[in-house]
Amino acid sequence: MNLTISHLEKAKDSKEFPPYIREAITSLLAAINDWPNPIKELNEYEEAVYRFVGKDVTKNKLEGHIANTDLSKNAWQAESLTQLLDVFDHYEGKSLKEIMRDIQVKVLEKH
């Protein structure tokens, strides 16, 4: 089962999750909202980020990519990725793939 934006919206306000998960989900939803194309599932956003940034996304790689993004062409992507950086604050040293899997597992096991 894929994790939908609706699942994330419900989890964001659920007291079933520790605060760091709810805060990460809130930042993730803001990042998804800023992406220029409609996103319905978490894996769609992850794939879009990989297409834009490349594989093995880490906080450092993301910061470097944002700094080198042409804002006249990709302002919405840069805004989304800037929001995504906040998610990494709750998962020190983890890659985007690890973060997305952790969120997906935790949310889907509650639904």
Q: Give tens-digit pLDDT for 6-30.
A: 999 999 999 999 999 999 999 999 9
What pLDDT is attached to residue 32? 98
pTM, full prediction: 0.93
Q: Is residue 1 pLDDT above 90, yes or no?
A: no
Integer Cα distance of 93 and 96 in angstroms? 10
pLDDT tens-place string over residues 26-63: 999 999 999 999 999 999 999 999 999 998 899 999 99
Domain residue ranges in the chain: 5-110
Position 70, amino acid: D
61, 69 contact by CB (below 8 A): no
What pLDDT is attached to residue 109? 87
β-strand partners of 41: 4
* Closest C-alpha among 41, 20, 52, 60 to residue 108: 41
